[in-house]
Chains A and B, each alone.
Chain A
Amino acid sequence: MNDVNTRNISLIIARWEFLIRALDDVSYNVVIKLKNHMKSARKYDDIEKFNLFISYNNGISSSFFKACNYKLSDNGNVHKLEFRDCVGTIDWESKKSSVEISNEGVVSIDSFLRYVTSFLSLVQGGALVHSAGIIKNNRCFIFPGPSMSGKSTIAGLFRQRFTVIGEELSIILPSKEGYSVYGTPFLGSSSVLSNYGGYRLGGIIFHEKSDGYNIRKIEEVEALIRFVENVTFYSSSKKYANLVLENSEKITRSVKAFVMDFPNNSEWLSEFDKYLDEMI
């Protein structure tokens, strides 16, 4: 495992723990362990002792795991997920879990956490969405988009003007006011620490790189289709696909959605800022 991976694992774990505390819903405990041959490396010691907390409210079906592309051993309430370079065990009854990293584990630990986050977000009525997020007047405006769509560019441009909640993945969960947005431990290309938030969802802005700036409101179906394309889910079962659609419909219906063309410069930011004021 190289230094970059080591740094990433530490960051992911630290961010994850911070996030789950921020969610104030601590009821699940995951312990990260490294295999014996890696224990000699001093830099891994802290990770070995680290406890990881995951919120867990609802029941879980083993069919979800079976539908995913991971090898699963199902022993009652204990599920064992075998990844390419890591093994994760989840005991849903005792609410304890462990992840054992064997080699180059950053890929798997990240996969494991995305997998669990995606599932927990869905069963709680929300979604894990590929998006950057910015805060304006205590509301979060998310910018959903696939890789290379410009999420990191947008986050970089906005960083001096707004609080950036993340540039890669956001969790959207139901709240008293509608929906709240949280940053995640998952890194974007620039690896800038996220603000974990818990801000009310203010609007959804799909974005396309362009030579000039333009923004237009879009109708419900277009917003939904674009939004679903960016929801992270790993199951191929109809049950969870239905959850993706149901939750996405409710989320996109709760706020206005837009498509924004933007150039890679800061000249349009004032105009966009004013537009946000009008939206709020």
Chain B
Amino acid sequence: MKYKINPDAVYREINGVYYVLLPRDKTIHRFTDVGSLIWRLIDKNFSESEIIKEVVNQYDVEEEVVLNDLENFIKELVEKKILLKIE
């Protein structure tokens, strides 16, 4: 499954923390530090494996844990329409 950032989403970064505004829904979402890192990598079109590798390097955690967290994070972003499935 591939995803893309909702083209309507407006996002910015303050002190390393990303937040996203969906103007159609009038909702705003803030990411955690790890979420902000993952968002930055998604924005740069990193693949899932590249994202996992980067998070493992930066946070010194097990790859399995990262994979699980990443899946949950992406699921949440899709539910909130911040990410869209493209295939």
Contact = CB atoms under 8 A, between A and B. Distances in A.
Interface in A231-262: 233, 235-238, 240-242, 244-245, 249
A236 B28 contact: no
B11 to A, nearest CB: 9
B19 A221 contact: yes
B12 to A, nearest CB: 6
A-B pairs with the 3 shortest C-beta distances? A241-B23, A236-B24, A241-B10
Contacts of A245: 10, 12, 21
Interface stretch (A87-95, A152-160, A222-230): A222-230
Contacts of A233: 23, 26
Interface string B9-21: 0101011010101
B80 interface: no
Give the secondary structure class of A's interface.
helix
Contact of B17 (A221, A235, A238): A221
Contact residues on A (Cβ < 8 Å of other chain), bracket? 10 to 19
Contact of B8 (A221, A229, A236): A236
B30 interface: yes
Interface in A188-243: 220-222, 224-225, 228-229, 233, 235-238, 240-242
A228 B21 contact: yes
A224 B23 contact: no
B23 to A, nearest CB: 4
Contacts of A249: 12, 14
A128 B29 CA distance: 20
Most chain A Cβ neighbours within 10 Å, of B21, B24, B30: B21
A225 B17 CA distance: 11
23 contacts: A220-B14, A220-B15, A221-B14, A221-B15, A221-B19, A221-B30, A222-B30, A224-B14, A224-B19, A225-B19, A225-B28, A225-B30, A228-B28, A233-B23, A233-B26, A236-B8, A236-B24, A237-B23, A238-B10, A241-B21, A241-B23, A244-B21, A245-B10
